[in-house]
Chains A and B, each alone.
Chain A
Amino acid sequence: MNMETPVLAYHKADAPDGFSAPGIFATTLDRVVGLARKNSIWPLPFATSCCGIEFMATMGAHYDLGRFGAERLSFSPRQADLLMVMGTIAKKMAPVIQQVYIQMAEPRWVLAVGACAASGGIFDSYSVLQGIDRVVPVDVYVPGCPPRPEQIIDGFMKIQELVAKEPLRRRYSKEYKEMLAEYGIL
């Protein structure tokens, strides 16, 4: 009886650069930690409007962000690695965003999804924050109004690249601390 080999459905992470010989593999600690981190990011969804609906589709079975190791959403900032801001942020909500960011433990990343989170979008108005990068540092911007799930996944994969390549000492560097001080975050 002829049986086909079943196709493996899970995502297999590639090994980082390094030296290999029979029975051994050597690489740097940064890369091993980066490999582990990038495939187990816990996102904190901060969804306020239509981009949030697109994010719900992204988390659903059809697009399935779980394939990238991010199926475990963290609704507590304490355990979250990635703050995903999706939607219009009013000026009154700006201190809330900053507070959530402060409550996240290092290392932490921020993804601004959609035109509103990136720049205020069409809401060039006295009441709307003109981009969340006025209150927290942003790592990746996803354009679109709202962006499709593919674009959100693309932005997420850009975050994964940053996570994989981050040096272990970066969060202790003088430049990083100065950057946080500019936002009034310490």
Chain B
Amino acid sequence: MDNSFIIDKLYKRFGQDILKMDTASDILTFTVASPVIHDLIDFLKNDENLNFSFLTDLCGIHYPDRGLPLGVVYHLHNLSENNRIRIKTFTTLANPAVRTVTDLFSTANWMERETYDFYGIIFEGHPNLKRILNVEYMDFFPMRKEYPLEDPTREDKDDRYFGR
């Protein structure tokens, strides 16, 4: 199975919803519209020729300068032919909702909780979408760029000592 086969198959099925395709870092990458993400991953997993049966990773990303700033990145792996593929999808900050893939991959449960915890992306249909790593009372999403990395409760730091 080479890349052109995968590209043909995906364009035939999801042509108008594929926004971008490239092979950054030697991994075939598709950027797709967020409403089709579940159907596309379902297709990649369950099509008998594609057979991407393993979800390697699922994570969030934030580009504050873009029109659609919040993204989710999926890494899929075809274990029998050792093929990898990367799917990206982006949403707005106002309504960061993406359909869950927990019905396709059980492992997505904790990955989506982590993505929600750090980026505030709502996975619609997730069975238990709550914080997983941070404290429950945290009232912000720390990996979004508008929040400072430093602890806001420190009073003893003088900006002059840090060149700012």
Contacts and interface: CB of A to CB of B under 8 A. Distances in A.
B149 interface: yes
Interface residues of A, number: 9
A126 B154 contact: no
Interface of A: 91-92, 120, 124-128, 130
B154 A130 contact: yes
B151 interface: yes
A127 B150 contact: no
Given A125-B149, A126-B147, A126-B149, A92 B154 contact: no
Nearest to B150: A124
Given A124-B151, A127-B134, A130-B154, 19 more contacts: A91-B134, A91-B135, A92-B133, A92-B135, A120-B151, A120-B154, A124-B157, A125-B149, A125-B150, A125-B151, A126-B138, A126-B142, A126-B147, A126-B149, A126-B152, A127-B133, A127-B142, A130-B151, A130-B153
Contacts of A125: 149-151
Interface in B113-164: 133-135, 138, 142, 147, 149-154, 157
Contacts of B138: 126
Contacts of A91: 134-135
B114 to A, nearest CB: 13
Interface of B: 133-135, 138, 142, 147, 149-154, 157
Interface of A (DSSP majority class): loop
24 contacts: A91-B134, A91-B135, A92-B133, A92-B134, A92-B135, A120-B151, A124-B150, A124-B151, A124-B154, A124-B157, A125-B150, A125-B151, A126-B134, A126-B138, A126-B147, A126-B150, A126-B151, A127-B133, A127-B134, A127-B142, A128-B151, A130-B151, A130-B153, A130-B154
A90 to B, nearest CB: 8
